[in-house]
């Protein structure tokens, strides 16, 4: 595929490789989000950890999952290439999920460590392969990442529903085993779809592409990306309350008979439903010459996330601080944060592939996930206060953090827009 001549007809549509990666990520994300849906409940109900310890383990695991992509991206840049890094990561994830399903509490931490290492190899490199499909059709790159992101969230939507059923009818081991099976499917899709992936996915030398890039431009690109990465940590602190304090809320403060992990399907469902609408909106605004910049979209995402936790704060004041309230509060919050996530996360992935210097693309994609790691770790740190203050005050704290991050982004917006515009983003 990569040796075919580029014509207007071939550059105006998405390549087949995008759909290989779509289904690879669908099954990989099913595997991961099945674990995320179960993890806190497993620690709480099966391992009988105190909630503070569960929060610490949650934060450490999420931190490791999203810090290790820095190493995975570096190894792909220098030695492995993106394709081999993805295969290694997928195999490690499958092994870790299998150990978790069969080992019980005795191998719990070992399984989490192996899964984190596998995710570190896979996550940054599969995203970089998506970007490498669009060197001849850059105008489609943002849309491609929105499609790719829908694959991620299709897996994330299915996972909590399936594991809630498996846990109820067949037990913890069956629920965790479904994650191992999903990783085998991801490996099969990726391996059999290899011929549709670009040759650059298997190379480690980006020197030719970078030869004409001034060193000063490359440095400014890296600095601008790092500024964005630091600011969006606040989003991930808030977002990863979904598997922690919002799961506790679903279990203890929501008037419903639905399994608490089921609610985690609402956010990815919102992304699947809203993504096409936002793509249409951005396209219409682009035709009028008024599409918001990437930085503006990030600010909007932060404001929507603040609104999410504002909704939950009101829910606490309406009775959730001391008892149970309608599930509508939690569903509404998950739908609002879905809009915020669409404005921020796929745009960040696309931004890295467009702006990062070619020699460091894998490493910079890893750095994007390090920001996610910091947010994931800090989500556990913040979550330790869940039982130390009223729920409404806790949610106000998270909302305030997002508002501060949005304000800081607004202050840096002019300079960031300038650097990204020079990079063609």
pLDDT digits (tens, 9 = 90+) for 81-108: 899 999 999 999 999 999 999 987 789 9
Closest CA to 422 of 371, 358, 354, 374: 354
Q: Which pLDDT score, from 0 to 100, does residue 203 have?
A: 61
CATH code for the domain in which residue 313 is found: 1.20.1250.20
Q: Tell me what percent of the residues of the chain surpass a pLDDT of 70.
A: 93
Domain for residue 345, yes or no? yes
Closest CA to 11 of 122, 140, 110: 140
Q: Which structural domain range is residue 139 located in?
A: 14-195+213-422
Domain for residue 223, yes or no? yes
pLDDT digits (tens, 9 = 90+) for 139-159: 788 888 888 999 999 999 999
Task: Indicate the helix (H) or strand (E) that contains 393.
Answer: helix 391-422
How many domains is the chain built from? 1
Domain for residue 8, yes or no? no
Domain for residue 200, yes or no? no
pTM above 0.85, yes or no: no
Closest CA to 65 of 41, 99, 29, 104: 29
Domain for residue 206, yes or no? no
pLDDT class of 306 with cuts at 50, 70, 90: very high
pLDDT class of 3 with cuts at 50, 70, 90: very low
Distance CA 59, CA 398 (A): 16
Task: Answer whether 245's CB lies under 8 Å from 316's CB.
Answer: no
Domain for residue 202, yes or no? no
Average pLDDT over residues 339-365: 87
Domain for residue 1, yes or no? no
For residue 287 the two structure tokens come to 């035709």
Contacts of 23 (CB under 8 A, 6+ apart): 151, 186, 189, 193
Higher pLDDT, 4 or 425: 425
Is residue 117 predicted with pLDDT exceeding 80?
yes
Domain for residue 296, yes or no? yes
pLDDT digits (tens, 9 = 90+) for 324-338: 999 999 999 999 999
């Amino acid at each position: 595929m990569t040796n075919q001549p580029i014509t207007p007809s071939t550059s105006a549509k998405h390549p087949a490789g995008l759909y290989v990666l779509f289904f690879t990520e669908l099954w990989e994300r099913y595997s991961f989000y099945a674990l995320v849906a179960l993890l806190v409940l497993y620690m709480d109900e099966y391992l009988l950890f105190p909630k503070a310890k569960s929060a610490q383990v949650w934060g450490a695991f999420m931190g490791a999952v999203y810090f290790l992509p820095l190493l995975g991206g570096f190894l792909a840049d220098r030695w492995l290439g993106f394709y081999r890094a993805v295969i290694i990561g997928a195999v490690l994830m499958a092994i870790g999920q299998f150990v978790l399903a069969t080992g019980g509490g005795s191998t719990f931490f070992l399984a989490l460590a192996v899964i984190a290492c596998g995710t570190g190899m896979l996550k940054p490199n599969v995203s970089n392969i998506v970007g490498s499909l669009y060197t001849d059709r850059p105008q489609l790159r943002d849309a491609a990442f929105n499609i790719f992101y829908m694959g991620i969230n299709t897996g994330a939507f299915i996972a909590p529903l399936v594991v809630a059923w498996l846990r109820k009818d067949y037990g913890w081991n069956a629920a965790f085993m479904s994650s191992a099976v999903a990783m085998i499917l991801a490996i099969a899709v990726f391996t059999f779809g290899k011929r549709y992936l670009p040759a650059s996915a298997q190379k480690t030398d980006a020197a030719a592409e970078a030869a004409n890039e001034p060193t000063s431009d490359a440095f400014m690109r890296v600095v601008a990306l790092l500024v964005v990465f630091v600011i969006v940590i606040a989003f991930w602190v808030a977002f990863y309350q979904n598997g922690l304090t919002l799961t506790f809320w679903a279990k203890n403060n929501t008037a419903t008979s639905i399994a608490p992990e089921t609610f985690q399907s609402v956010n990815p469902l919102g992304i699947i439903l809203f993504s096409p609408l936002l793509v249409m909106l951005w396209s219409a605004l682009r035709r009028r010459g008024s599409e918001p910049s990437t930085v503006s979209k990030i600010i909007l995402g932060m404001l929507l996330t603040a609104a999410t936790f504002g909704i939950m704060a009101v829910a606490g004041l309406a009775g959730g601080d001391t008892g149970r309230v309608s599930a509508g509060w939690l569903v509404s919050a998950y739908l609002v944060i879905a809009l915020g996530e669409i404005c921020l996360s796929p745009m960040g992935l696309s931004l890295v592939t467009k702006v990062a210097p070619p020699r460091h693309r894998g490493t910079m994609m890893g750095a994007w996930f390090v920001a996610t790691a910091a947010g994931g770790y800090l989500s556990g740190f913040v979550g330790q206060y869940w039982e130390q203050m009223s729920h409404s005050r806790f949610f106000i704290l998270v909302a305030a953090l997002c508002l501060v991050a949005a304000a800081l982004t607004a202050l840096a917006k002019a300079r960031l827009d300038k650097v990204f515009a020079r990079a063609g983003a």
